[in-house]
Amino acid sequence: MLRKFKISIDGKEYLVEMEEIGGAPVPAAPVAQEAPVALQASEPTPKPVATPQPAAPVAAGSDAMTAPMPGTILRILVNPGESVTENQPLMILEAMKMENEVVANRSGVISAIHVTQGQMVNPGDALVTIG
């Protein structure tokens, strides 16, 4: 049975639905008779801690193609100086046990490859520059 609760956190109200699992069902009180309940925290709420941001790759320019998701470079299918066409596969990126083709976003010549086979990458890491 789904039950609805209205909670207030830092003056902002939220409507929460929860499914009751086990136990004896309790009939819900009519909404008109419910009084708003403010939650009292027994401990002060911790302030969010800023997470350090990884440094941007230095070797790649702003025109480099970047990794769309975190993963591991399985194969690099092109070499520097090679001509490529738009949508041509450049490398295979394994993410979440799936192989994903990274394709050229435009035609041109590969001026630099910024990763190696087996390297782990994060979203936004430079992969290849097409000149």
Selected residue with higher pLDDT from 14 and 21: 14
SS3 47: coil
Predicted pLDDT at 53: 44
Judge if pTM exceeds 0.75: no
Res 41 pLDDT > 60: no
Tokens representing residue 77 in the block: 């299918």
Question: Of residues 120 and 49, which shows the higher confidence score?
Answer: 120
What's CA 7's distance to the chain center, in Å?
A: 29
Give the pLDDT confidence of 74-130 residue by residue, as tens digits. Answer: 999 999 999 999 999 999 999 888 999 999 999 999 999 999 999 999 999 999 999
| Selection from 121, 130, 115 nearest residue 64 by Cα | 130
Is 35's pLDDT higher than 60? no
Which of 53, 54, 104 lies closest to 78 in space, CA to CA?
104
Greater pLDDT, 91 or 10 = 91
CA gap 125, 106 in Å, rounded: 18
Please give the Cα distance from 93 to 120 (Å, whole number): 9
The answer to whether 69 and 90 have CB atoms below 8 angstroms apart is: no
Q: Could you tell me the domains of the chain?
A: 2-33 (no CATH), 65-130 (2.40.50.100)
